[in-house]
């Protein structure tokens, strides 16, 4: 028996209505905020992620699915995230001179070779947004507000917004020096991963889950205490904008995000009760990413929201039930001619926009009625030789058993 690849999932027909419901709300809210949908390839040149995501990140060093294109002998990777491909797309398609701000969203599958666990899989589904062309703190607040609107509309209450500022290229070096000095003093207590990160990407030490590393990180210098005046002013404006919109938040110096391209505002929406992978949405500002990938100096901010983690949070809060489509009519037919007639009736109703079903496997009349009840049909229509001759049949309401006679040629529901 051939089984699915470890870390992937089958989404079965009884599960897809919930996925479609969540994705529908994401699309509606994004478009309500003026974001247009963009779709990019599932795989890109590996260099895009090395330059965009950062060659010191775990994503690039350990987690990408990379292979060689045999025809052109080049390195290609399945996308591990959505931002770098979108940036590549707007540069390549000459959209960087469009009227700003440019607001884009996507719902995509991404791929990372990680240890599968609750809320983390190797193929995962992500709703993401990107806004380009503005450095205004109100843009940061607007992107955060969109994520908040989606989570709120999905009925989630036990989710907290954590925000932080990690500064800019002017104030980051001094903070990095203070951070390295702090962790280097207790280097022997650090886990092997953090010892390796210390010289390459010390910000990542702040969100390590190892107990010893976490205890050291709690006492580490805070990013918000090392901001230059400009970054302080921007962060204050982001907080004031969120206050004005009535969106509660917690200033959390441990929020740094895992990708190299972030600067200034970073944020996460964290869900209670869904396990270690509790961040359902994360994002931030990336003002130098477009230029680093060959485009003009074009600031940006965005987020990624994991569908699987959102669904886990919805299940935890008991808001993961959605109605499944059920047929308005099931035509129960007795005999070969009646079965053909039934097929014609349901096809006409379907073309008129009604969900209708009839027997396709040769069940007995009794079995057909049981099946109609099982699939939740609202009405049943009994069709046999007599009904074929008269052109009339009995339409039964399955809820209360009441019946009425209808003309087959003019049947509507």
Q: What is the pLDDT of residues 256-280, one digit of tens each?
A: 876 678 899 999 999 987 877 789 9
At the fourth CATH level, the homologous superfamily of domain 329-410 is: Anticodon-binding domain (3.40.50.800)
CA distances from 216 to 18, 211, 400 (A): 41, 9, 67
Q: Is the bond into 190 cis (omega within 30 degrees of 0)?
A: no
State the pTM of this model.
0.90
Question: Does pLDDT of 188 surpass 80?
Answer: yes
Q: Rounded mean pLDDT of 315-336?
A: 94
Q: Rounded mean pLDDT of 382-392?
A: 95
Other Cβ atoms closer than 10 A to 326 = 12
What six digits make up the tokens of 103?
Answer: 């607001």
Q: Provide the residue ranges of all domains of the chain, joining segments of one domain with +.
A: 16-171+227-316, 329-410
Question: Does pLDDT of 19 surpass 90?
Answer: yes
Which range of 45-54, 249-258, 271-280, 298-307 scores highest in mean pLDDT? It is: 298-307
CATH of 16-171+227-316, one of 3.30.930.10, 3.40.50.2300, 3.30.360.10, 3.40.50.300: 3.30.930.10
Per residue in 366-381, is it b (16+ CB within 10 Å) or e — as a string?
eebbebbeeeebebbb
Other Cβ atoms closer than 10 A to 401 = 7
């Amino acid at each position: 028996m051939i089984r699915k690849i470890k870390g992937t999932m089958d989404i079965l027909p009884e599960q897809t209505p919930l996925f479609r419901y969540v994705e529908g709300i994401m699309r509606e809210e994004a478009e309500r905020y003026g974001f247009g949908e963009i779709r990019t390839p599932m795989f890109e040149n590996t260099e895009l992620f090395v330059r965009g995501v950062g060659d010191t990140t775990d994503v690039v060093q350990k987690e990408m699915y990379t292979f060689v294109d045999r025809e052109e002998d080049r390195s290609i990777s399945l996308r591990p995230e959505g931002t770098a491909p979108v940036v590549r797309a707007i540069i390549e398609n000459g959209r960087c001179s469009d009227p700003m701000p440019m607001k884009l969203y996507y719902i995509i599958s991404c791929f990372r070779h990680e240890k599968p666990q609750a809320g983390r899989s190797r193929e995962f589904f992500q709703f993401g947004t990107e806004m380009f062309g503005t450095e205004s703190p109100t843009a940061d607040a607007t992107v955060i507000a969109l994520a908040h609107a989606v989570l709120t509309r999905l009925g989630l209450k036990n989710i907290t917004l954590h925000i932080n500022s990690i500064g800019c290229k002017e104030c980051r070096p001094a903070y990095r020096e203070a951070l390295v000095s702090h962790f280097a003093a207790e280097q022997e207590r650090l886990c092997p991963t953090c010892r390796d990160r210390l010289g390459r990407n010390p910000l990542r030490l702040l969100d390590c889950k190892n107990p010893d590393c976490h205890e050291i990180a709690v006492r580490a210098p805070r990013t918000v205490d090392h901001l230059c005046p400009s970054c302080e002013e921007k962060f204050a404006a982001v907080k004031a904008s969120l206050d004005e919109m009535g969106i509660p938040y917690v200033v959390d110096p441990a929020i740094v995000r895992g990708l190299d391209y972030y600067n200034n505002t970073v944020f996460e929406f964290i869900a209670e009760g869904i396990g270690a992978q509790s961040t359902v949405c994360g994002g931030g500002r990336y003002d130098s990413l477009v230029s680093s990938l060959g485009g003009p100096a074009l600031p940006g901010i965005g987020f990624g929201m994991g569908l699987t983690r959102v669904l886990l949070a919805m299940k935890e809060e008991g808001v993961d039930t959605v109605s499944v489509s059920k047929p308005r009519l099931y035509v129960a037919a007795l005999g070969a001619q009646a079965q053909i007639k039934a097929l014609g009736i349901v096809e006409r109703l379907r073309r008129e926009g009604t969900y209708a079903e009839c027997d396709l496997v040769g069940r007995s009349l009794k079995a057909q009625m049981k099946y109609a009840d099982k699939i939740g049909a609202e009405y049943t229509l009994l069709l046999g030789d007599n009904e074929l001759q008269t052109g009339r049949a009995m339409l039964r309401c399955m809820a209360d058993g009441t019946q009425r006679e209808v003309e087959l040629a003019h049947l509507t529901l």
